[in-house]
Amino acid sequence: MEETSTTWVLLGLLAQGPKSGYELKQIVDRSTRYFWAASYGQIYPELKRLEEAGLVAGKDAPTGGRRRRVFRITEPGREELRGWLHGTAARMEFRDESLLRLFFADVLPRGEGLALLRARAEGFRRTAAELRALDALPGDDPPFVDLVLQYGIDWCGWVVEWCERQEARL
């Protein structure tokens, strides 16, 4: 099976326990979407592909008359996941508009350029608050899940400080 970018999110989340497509989307939106997004249009077809490849197994599990399909990871699926975890190639892509603005700030008068630094700091302050709220949510996350959340918070804090430092310097 040809792996897509959603393969690993789904396999990784299902390794923590069986879930429906809908649940997977909810979880992604509260966790990985900050560094690895996935939409319904990818999740449902990909689950089908994973099932055909035998990496996950789906089972009908309706709640009342409402249809529902829960997937669990299979042993070959776990194997595949471990293989990927041991891999080294790490795709990495960013699209950071406020950084792009900063990059072109030379066309503006000095003061307005510095305002862009302030705006960037402000944006990251907001994201930091968002992540701290996620952190404060009840529920006990496994250590590495927690570590990554902490990374996000620390990173936002660092960016804010960096912007403030540069603004002061210039």
- The Cα–Cα gap between 102 and 84 comes to 36
- How many residues in the chain? 170
Q: Which does 70 bind (CB under 5 to 8 A by kind): DNA, a second copy, none?
A: DNA
Please check whether residue 121 is in contact with residue 160, taking contact to mean a CB–CB distance below 8 angstroms. Answer: yes
Q: Which does 64 bind (CB under 5 to 8 A by kind): a second copy, DNA, none?
A: DNA
- Nearer to a second copy by C-beta: 29 or 112? 112
Please check whether residue 38 is in contact with residue 25, taking contact to mean a CB–CB distance below 8 angstroms. Answer: yes
Binding of residue 129 to a second copy (CB under 8 A): no
Which residue in the set 11, 13, 21, 81 belongs to the binding site for DNA (CB under 7 A)?
21
Q: Which does 40 bind (CB under 5 to 8 A by kind): DNA, a second copy, none?
A: DNA
Query: Exposure of 15 by Cβ count < 10 A (0-12 exposed, 13-18 middle, 19+ buried)?
Result: middle
Interface map 91-120 toward DNA (x if CB under 7 A) = ----x-------------------------
Give the phi and the psi of residue 60 in degrees, each rounded to 5.
-70, 130
In the complex, the residues that contact DNA under the rule CB under 7 A are 4-6, 20-23, 26, 37-42, 44-45, 47-48, 63-70, 95
